Amino acid sequence: MKEILKIDNLKKYFQTAQGTVKAVDGVNLSLAEGETLGLVGESGSGKSTVAYNVVGIYGATSGKILYRGKDISMGTVKRPKSLKKDIQIVFQDPGTSLNPRQYIHQILAMPLRVHRIVPENKITEKVKELLDLVQLPASFIYKHPLELGEGEKQSIGIARALAVNPSLIVLDEPTSALDVSMQAKVINLLLDLQKNFGFSYLFITHDLGVMRNVANRIAIMYLGKICEIAPASDFFHNPLHPYTRMLISSVPVVSEEEEKLRPVKVASRGEIPSPVNVPSGCGFHPRCPDVMEICSVEIPKMHEAIPGHYVFCHKFTSPNTQI
């Protein structure tokens, strides 16, 4: 498949009173057209900062973000309108990302006007079409966000992203604020839209279980770095990094078949350190059940342990092909 997005050694640092926060520290990722890449990690891992760099909310400290081969690493103020149209984002909390004082018609009409998607006399018709795409009734154009449930609000956020016919949609934890039934509905909606329109998704989440039936590939992030990336099928059957095994072993299961797919139980140890005081060597070594002497003194390299399956760990000494 043709590559739509490439992230090359991306770094994003923030200066604080406590010191330098290395929120993203040398991330390499790629995304193909029509693909879903799941970016998973605990709170504080840096995954949302990657998302905000991709959409232009932040500019990169260093490194490159290439969209269809063109460097877009600068901040949002320098991005042309055509690029802002092509790359859209759905935020985590639908309640805070929608203007509570506006009708749904106003919220969905704004991007249509800004990007001149349809003539003025066709806007209401287009708004109703967008509502239909996200399985909401046309009567919602007269409602305010506060009148809607959380799942309905998130569907409006998705409709707003769809309004400008994007190619790449960044999903920043779009289901984390929803209950289980609403999560399933939103996930199914996103999958149907991708099937019908061919969107590429960068799906940010802390919930690894969500990715099992959603992502084509999964990348695990820890303290600003990618520690493992693999096709979803390989990922759940053969997790390599101790942190990945820790995450997968904590995912709830509802059947014996799923239980058989779990790796050997790895107990969760400690909490993710502050990105201001990153441990020396491998950042995961204070929590790692397989820690070795080298782990505390030397940063590992990303290795291709098996074709298409990369791991950032000293345990794996196969040819160090870097992503």
Give the pLDDT confidence of 56-88 residue by residue, as tens digits. Answer: 999 999 999 999 999 998 755 578 899 999 999
266 vs 37, residue with greater confidence: 37
Structural domain contains residue 318: no
Which residue blocks in 117-165 are alpha helix, DSSP H? 123-133, 150-162
Residue whose token pair is 């760099």 = 53
pLDDT tens across 91-117, in order?
A: 988 778 899 999 999 999 999 999 999
pTM: 0.91
Do 108 and 86 form a contact (C-beta atoms < 8 A)?
no
Reported as type and span, the H/E element at residue 96 is helix 94-97
Per the DSSP assignment, residues forming a β-bridge with 175 are none
Is the pLDDT assigned to residue 194 strictly greater than 50?
yes
Confidence bin at 1 (pLDDT 50/70/90): confident
In a domain, 320, yes or no: no
Mean pLDDT of 152-165: 96
Q: How many domains does the chain have?
A: 1
Query: pLDDT band for position 213 (50/70/90)?
Result: confident
Q: What is the pLDDT of residues 223-273, one digit of tens each?
A: 999 999 999 988 888 999 999 988 888 775 555 655 555 555 666 677 788
Mean pLDDT over 171-183 rounds to: 87
Rounded Cα gap, residues 91 and 161, in angstroms: 10
pLDDT of residue 125: 97
Would 238 be classed as within a structural domain? yes
323 confidence band (pLDDT: 50, 70, 90): very low
Q: What pLDDT sits at residue 178? A: 84
- Judged by DSSP in three states, 118 sits in coil
Residue 194 lies in a domain: yes
In sequence order, what E strands does the chain have?
3-16, 19-32, 36-40, 62-67, 70-71, 87-90, 168-172, 200-205, 217-222, 225-231, 302-306, 309-312
Cα–Cα nearest to 190, from 177, 206, 173: 173
Mean per-residue pLDDT, 128-133:
97
- Residue 319 counted as domain residue: no
In whole angstroms, give the CA distance from residue 176 to residue 183. Answer: 8
pLDDT confidence of residue 256: 60
Please give the average per-residue pLDDT across 270-287, as a whole number: 87
Q: Which pLDDT score is estimated for 270?
A: 73
Residue 319 reports pLDDT greater than 80: no
Q: Is residue 211 part of a domain?
A: yes
Mean confidence (pLDDT) of the chain = 89
Sequence-separated (6 or more) residues with CB below 8 Å from residue 10: 24, 26, 27, 28, 50, 53, 60, 62, 63, 64, 65, 73
Rounded CA-CA distance 22/146 in Å is 37
267 found inside a domain: yes
Instruction: Report pLDDT for 89.
Output: 96
pLDDT band for position 209 (cuts 50, 70, 90): confident
Residue-level pLDDT at 261: 56
In a domain, residue 216? The reply is yes
Residue 162 structural domain: 3-312
pLDDT tens digit sequence for 12-34: 999 999 899 999 999 999 999 99
Q: What is the CATH number of the domain that holds 262?
A: 3.40.50.300
